[in-house]
Structure 1
């Protein structure tokens, strides 16, 4: 056999480190998904092609064969092998020993100490520093052979190891080596056979390495034709003017796994202190995981067009429905591409991307109200989480928000719309929170507001009960629940300018209220005449201080409130039923007690609850029926 050196015997080198222990750490501590090995090897190959391109600027002879950069993945199911080959810069003997022996020469303990130190240090760049990416191949292979030939060299070298204690480096037959570049042969473990499946490899390549700067080909079996699966181009690197709507839509469907069209596309390149490209989409419909308790985002992170992770915190959690990617060459990495360090660069990207997305939503609201409402109906619930969580952007998010209200039968209203139409003397933005829109529309608690032409926001999302208590005001107007405290409606003018008048509380009604306070005892904190009721006889409201009725229910349901505050029972002194009960003889204490207890249960039902004691409720109702029938 012809060799490229007088000494054709491969030399064996014993790993100075305990590689078995090292690889155990790699598999169980550095990487969480075995598929990552393919991404790492493709990334190394793409880097080699980029290095050749740069070196060829000063040494054009390195590209004398005029072959474009490419990577090839060959599948050999019969022999349980996976082969990856690039035509990049390649490695000499010394470069191969350096690149593939760095971990071993560091010593296991020293390596681990350096890894831990790098975790604590901002900006540490470990990928490639220790050969970590290459060694991920041993997660799926029980032996790895590497043949490499440096561009412009007449020598080729073979590196081989089972990753358990030693490796060999020796000359390779020049006829069996690439014309330039590196060929990596993975002798797969039995349980890694799936990596000889074209479907599996093509899926991983497209998902994780579909946008590396060199085209990738797959050879399905030895002797088969090479088929291009990625073309080495990245959509996000093209000028927006050169990208069609259909291309954006196809890319969105590929990156999101959805079949709709994006409602908003955000594509920009940030330049200056930190440079990065962003391509993000607001989906046209809700993703299936929108309400995942973990609230994780789905923005993919690329570094130099190589996929790193889709688990980096690149957007606040209330924008978790956004799909897309960030591509940067500035971001520092930790030991693996899955563990991105928190850094000023990441914070700047997060801030810039968030601002662009919210600004795009603002523009959509201004220019296409109908399209914006569709977005709001799909994602308004989670966007409002930001009002509660993101103090810096609270005002912007509140301005974006849309609400149902008593002012329109079916339409949405902004807070700016609400303030523009406020009545003279009105100082607060009134709202009513609950779980059902129709129930809120018919709530007795808004009757007085409706009668005076005062708009009430109808809030049906659980998060509404939290953000309204966390947002002190909007344009100087505070938020006030109509189910809490006194209504104070007599301070607000009617639409026609006439001052509202409160219903007169007669002596009989006054006596009934005093009796009710005594009869109901600890069940309520107070009984009083209401100026918010115009049609219903009674309603319940929360005391002036503490949570309103809906927030109280949510906190109790979540086990975060031991006991609810005693509600206030408000009575409509002008209602025929109240006047009738008040007109009964004070001597008929049993009937009056049944009546006020039933009024309290009626108020509970109107509030969406049930009688506290259903049996006692039924018995009281029966006694009242009997009295009425006899009378």
Structure 2
């Protein structure tokens, strides 16, 4: 049969030019596309043989070969898979010129950006034409298993392509790229170089089921290694696709180290296999230590994404929420496009389904670890607890699952953290609140004046020292019907709550100190929101607290650090009516008509309260001078 020449339609030529010059930003992916196509052909032959549809096909040595010729500047990718008939070549390889092109271009015109265009190209299956990014001419020779005659397809990617039937063609498909002239200034893209071919196959096709072999070039030593035997480039060890009992912990650990560049073994290995309308496999790892840059803005996170064992991208952030950014691993999907982009992933409903299930799998694994391996969980929480708690703010759907494993330092036990459920189980039935205090360190919190009444009455308080704690407690609000309540916010009267009969005494003190409180509020002016007697102090003379609905100073600073301007909330000064300094100040206030000297005392008392919680007086130099003068007069 003579060679037939076919002319591309005008819109098809436009499409080809678009693919060559615009769609792919990384030219190396052309080899990924060709190896993936070859792998699919081998899969199809194996299935056909199992079904008895290709009884004469040879399936004893299925493989992919890559052959480079430096002098001729050709690169050939061949397989001994299912192959194609003359008609199939026209339908499949000629997709760019068939009737589907019009529909494709119409949707391409409607695509809002390049990312959407890439998704369409993958869906329409014309990734084969990425070969023209690096080749001036592409020739395809193929013979379908069970047929005697083969087919040759050839095109220079311009206006035409040719089809002809040929004899003496081995089973399978061979694609030969006549590469563009070499660029002496850019050896990194010399696709006849063995090291470059090794690099691309290792990166994109390492876990392909079938061996990918690099044939030796003519001329001993031309490639620098003198190899004369075919070299298998890929490991073919897709551990996630093998039964669990066939994979050793050492193999899992080696894969983890390869993915994460961490020299330590992972803390936990998590496997997931999803079947049904959308199939995928996942192999996830929980590291045993946090990387130093875990909380930096440029931290790279996400899982490696594969499609049918073909590597697609590193750091696929769409597969897990940011609060699980420490998780490493791979996800291998069966039904995604090879050309899927990060932007497309963010909108793909299948990716959303995977993200939700992967998230739940990680959280359920943490729950099992906490129950069955508390020592390992303690290590996990020490390294990653602060990150996981971000999910309490951002992931309402899984908030209960996070709370079920979240552990917090507590005054109940200096060594062992507690869960909210354990806190509730220990609490007295008549006390409905879960008390907490936020700050920089456990030591600072334990010595805070806000803790005095709680320590005296033996009431447990959670000690929260991570920055995110300032946020999640307000977001969560309550647990098991009990309100989360800061011991440094709002008004507390623990005496009445314990039923110790101090209610009447407090009313008497309120009346006794009413004049002093009003005068101090006037003296301190804009520095305070209010001055009142305290129900939380037993040792210190005074403390400052935030109103129930106000932001804490730490939270204000956090928002400002993120570039959000928030008004500075005025604090409330609370006085301990049982402290000698406050008693003497009240007596002096009631006895003196000239209270100018007392104004300095009020200012010092407020400054001391600010210092006691780790803050800084508004005018440190003035505060130091007032304190020095007062100390001098006492000597």
TM-score by length of 1: 0.86
Aligned to 1:205: 201
> Would you say the 8 A contact 2:143–2:172 is kept in 1?
yes
| Counterpart-to-counterpart distance in 2, 1:104 and 1:410 | 71
Given the superposition, is the C-alpha separation of residues 556 and 268 from structure 1 closer, same or farther in structure 2, using an over 3 Å criterion?
Answer: closer
Given the superposition, is the C-alpha separation of residues 418 and 194 from structure 1 closer, same or farther in structure 2, using an over 3 Å criterion?
Answer: farther
Aligned to 2:608: 602
Alignment of 1:526-605 (within 5 A): 526-584=530-588, 586-587=592-593, 589-605=595-611
Structure 1 range deviating more: 186-195 or 287-296: 287-296
Deviations 1:405-428, CA, capped at 9 Å, x for gaps: 222324311112211222453211
SS of the equivalent of 2:305 reads strand
Number of residues of Structure 1 aligned to a counterpart in Structure 2:
613
Given the superposition, is the C-alpha separation of residues 28 and 367 from structure 1 closer, same or farther in structure 2, using an over 3 Å criterion?
Answer: farther
Report deviation, 1:210.
2.0
Q: Residue 43 in 1 paired to residue 39 in 2?
A: no
Q: 1:485 aligns with which of 469, 479, 490?
A: 490
SS of the equivalent of 2:273 reads strand
Given the superposition, is the C-alpha separation of residues 35 and 616 from structure 1 closer, same or farther in structure 2, using an over 3 Å criterion?
Answer: same
> Would you say the 8 A contact 1:299–1:314 is kept in 2?
yes
SS of the equivalent of 1:393 reads helix
Aligned to 1:89: 82
Structure 1: which 5+ runs fail to align?
none
Structure 1 range deviating more: 107-116 or 549-558: 107-116
Aligned to 1:163: 157
Given the superposition, is the C-alpha separation of residues 286 and 83 from structure 1 closer, same or farther in structure 2, using an over 3 Å criterion?
Answer: farther
| Counterpart-to-counterpart distance in 1, 2:277 and 2:189 | 46
Aligned to 2:523: 519
Aligned to 1:447: 452
Alignment of 1:319-338 (within 5 A): 319-329=324-334, 331=335, 333=337, 336=340
Deviations 1:323-346, CA, capped at 9 Å, x for gaps: 2233343x4549647644845544
| Counterpart-to-counterpart distance in 2, 1:202 and 1:408 | 56
| Counterpart-to-counterpart distance in 2, 1:79 and 1:586 | 106
> Would you say the 8 A contact 2:78–2:172 is kept in 1?
no
Q: Residue 624 in 1 paired to residue 609 in 2?
A: no
SS of the equivalent of 2:478 reads coil
> Would you say the 8 A contact 1:405–1:412 is kept in 2?
yes
Q: 1:258 aligns with which of 252, 255, 262?
A: 262
Q: Residue 149 in 1 paired to residue 153 in 2?
A: no
Q: 1:16 aligns with which of 9, 20, 24?
A: 9
Q: Residue 104 in 1 paired to residue 108 in 2?
A: no
> Would you say the 8 A contact 2:45–2:54 is kept in 1?
no
Q: Residue 240 in 1 paired to residue 244 in 2?
A: yes
> Would you say the 8 A contact 2:6–2:160 is kept in 1?
yes
| Counterpart-to-counterpart distance in 2, 1:128 and 1:172 | 30
SS of the equivalent of 2:602 reads helix
Q: Residue 180 in 1 paired to residue 136 in 2?
A: no
TM-score by length of 2: 0.86
Aligned to 1:55: 48
| Counterpart-to-counterpart distance in 1, 2:298 and 2:37 | 33
Deviations 1:272-298, CA, capped at 9 Å, x for gaps: 555433322212222466335488752
> Would you say the 8 A contact 1:82–1:185 is kept in 2?
yes
| Counterpart-to-counterpart distance in 2, 1:149 and 1:74 | 19
Aligned to 1:229: 233
- What CA RMSD, in Å, does the superposition of the two structures yield over aligned residues? 3.4
> Would you say the 8 A contact 2:54–2:146 is kept in 1?
no
Given the superposition, is the C-alpha separation of residues 17 and 84 from structure 1 closer, same or farther in structure 2, using an over 3 Å criterion?
Answer: same
Deviations 1:451-483, CA, capped at 9 Å, x for gaps: 211121122222222211111311111101111
Given the superposition, is the C-alpha separation of residues 33 and 538 from structure 1 closer, same or farther in structure 2, using an over 3 Å criterion?
Answer: farther
Report deviation, 1:522.
2.1
SS of the equivalent of 1:454 reads coil
| Counterpart-to-counterpart distance in 1, 2:412 and 2:231 | 62
SS of the equivalent of 2:391 reads helix
SS of the equivalent of 2:137 reads strand
| Counterpart-to-counterpart distance in 2, 1:250 and 1:499 | 66
